Amino acid sequence: MDSKEELVAKLKVQIIEALKLEDKKPEDINPDEPLFMDGLGLDSIDALELIVILEKNYGLKIETAEEGKTIFKTVHTMADYIISKKSA
Amino acid sequence: MTSGTSFQITGYCKISPGLVYRNGEVVFQSHSQSTDISETAAEAYRALKINYPKFFKMDRLCRVSYLAAKLLLDRRNLPLLYNPYNVGVFLSNTSSSIASDLPFYGTIRDAGNFFPSPAVFTYTLSNISLGEICISSGIKGENCFFHHAADDYGFFPSAAADILHAETSACIMGSIEYFPPEVKTVFPEKHSRNHAVLVTIEKKPETRSGEDFPAFTAEEYKKIYA
């Protein structure tokens, strides 16, 4: 399994690709910055794309909206969620 | 209905591969060999230092539509000149949103790899480009996107009097035909233009000295369109 650093790097690339953030590079994304609102400024459609990223690339399904709020806080929280599920 | 009402062409913007014109002047010229007008639009967007956070998140049809409308409105800011509820947007093409339809189909055609993309799905309707123009500019009037079986530059000049409501004072109108190279390989039999030709038309435009706006007729529109 990827280390957390490797996973964060992968997630950044996947987010840029899926969300069509063509003016962003992986290094522009601070993994501790909020994905929504002030940080990357993602919107509700982007939230759906994040769900697809987890399902398509990691086989993980988000069951509730509440769960999503915690998981999709930052790139780091996404990585933590993936690691916790994969090691469970 | 506005039968008998004559509109005047108060500005135009044309985007073709590698070139962006506004009112007869070259606004941007690309040195790339790309035949994709969305790449021209993206290059122009960067070169002209336009800052619209949503630009690259829109699909390619919408990027072209947004840029053409933005360049027009920079010269004739219709929603400021008029009540924004009396400013409309009417677009047309022959290829609808095919440039997003195909990528979306790519996300659902394989039952074993079925991951429909919400971000791509959003743009699988050409009239989303109307919304993008209205949201970014503050235009709040009537709007419609027409699909034609064949290229028809005469449609809007002849139909404007019938399709516009009486209270509409001004419009962005024209053709946004985005048929990118990779789509041509899927539909080799379809011959479609690859351009954006938008005009601003106004009923009673305020003129500065020396300005003489042509009537919105098929003949005048053809001069721009050709």
* pLDDT, tens digit (0-9, with 9 covering 90-100), for A14-73: 999 999 888 889 999 999 999 987 778 788 899 999 999 999 999 999 988 889 989 999
Give domain status of residue B162, yes or no: yes
Q: Which of B180, B179, B223 is nearest to B199 (CA)?
A: B223
Does the CB of A61 have a partner CB in chain B at under 8 Å? no
Distance between A18 CA and the closest CA of chain B, angstroms: 8
A27 CB burial (10 A radius; 0-12, 13-18, 19+): exposed
Q: Hey, how many other C-beta atoms are within 10 angstroms of the C-beta on A16?
A: 18
Question: In whole angstroms, what is the distance from residue B87 CA to residue B138 CA?
Answer: 10
Does the CB of A48 have a partner CB in chain B at under 8 Å? yes
Give domain status of residue B218, yes or no: yes
- Mean pLDDT, consecutive 10-residue stretches, chain B (226 aa), reads 69 97 97 93 97 92 98 97 98 96 94 92 97 98 96 93 94 95 87 91 86 92 91
Number of domains in chain B: 1
Helix (H, G, I), strand (E, B) or coil at A1: coil
- Does the interface predicted TM-score (ipTM) exceed 0.85? no
pLDDT tens for residues B183-214? 888 888 887 788 999 999 999 898 877 788 99
Check which CATH number belongs to the domain holding B110 and give it.
3.40.47.10
Nearest CA in chain B to A57: B115
Residue range of the domain that includes B75: 8-225
- Among B56, B116, B117, the residue with its CB nearest the CB of A21 is B56
- Among A18, A23, A48, the residue with its CB nearest the CB of B56 is A23
Give domain status of residue B82, yes or no: yes
Q: Which CATH class is domain A4-87?
A: mainly alpha
Give domain status of residue B103, yes or no: yes
Give domain status of residue B1, yes or no: no
Distance between A48 CA and the closest CA of chain B, angstroms: 6
Q: Which helix (H) or strand (E) holds B147?
A: strand B143-147
Query: Is residue B61 within 8 Å of B120, Cβ to Cβ?
Result: no
pLDDT of residue A76: 96
Does the CB of A41 have a partner CB in chain B at under 8 Å? yes
pLDDT of residue B5: 52
